[in-house]
Amino acid sequence: MALLAEQRAEVILQELETHRAASVTDLCQITGASEATIRRDLNALAKQGKLSKVHGGAVQVNGEFLAEDPEMSVKRAQHIPEKERIAQYAAGLIQDEDIVFLDGGSTVMRMTEHLKPTKALFVTNGVECAFWLLERGLRVYVLGGALKRDTAATVGAQAMDALRRYNFTKAFLGASGVTVEHGFTVSDPEDAALKALAAERARQVYMLVDSSKFGRSGAAVVFPAEEAAIVTDKPLGREYLDYTSVVVV
Cα–Cα dist 108/208, whole Å: 7
CATH topology of domain 5-62: Arc Repressor Mutant, subunit A (1.10.10)
pLDDT tens per residue across all 249 residues of the chain: 568 889 999 999 888 877 767 788 889 999 999 999 999 999 898 888 777 776 677 777 655 656 566 565 556 556 789 999 999 999 999 999 999 999 998 999 999 999 999 999 999 999 999 999 999 999 999 999 999 888 889 999 999 999 999 999 999 999 999 988 889 999 899 999 999 999 999 999 999 999 889 888 888 999 999 999 999 998 887 777 877 899 999
Residues 216, 233: contact at Cβ < 8 Å? no
| pLDDT score recorded for residue 191 | 95
pTM of the model: 0.75
| pLDDT score recorded for residue 190 | 95
Domain boundaries, the chain: 5-62, 66-248
CATH topology of domain 66-248: Rossmann fold (3.40.50)
Cα–Cα dist 64/57, whole Å: 19
| pLDDT score recorded for residue 15 | 86
> By C-alpha distance, which of 41, 61, 62, 37 is closest to 51?
61
Cα–Cα dist 148/13, whole Å: 40
Residues 120, 111: contact at Cβ < 8 Å? no
The sign of the torsion formed by the CA atoms of 111, 116, 120, 121 equals positive
Cα–Cα dist 123/139, whole Å: 9
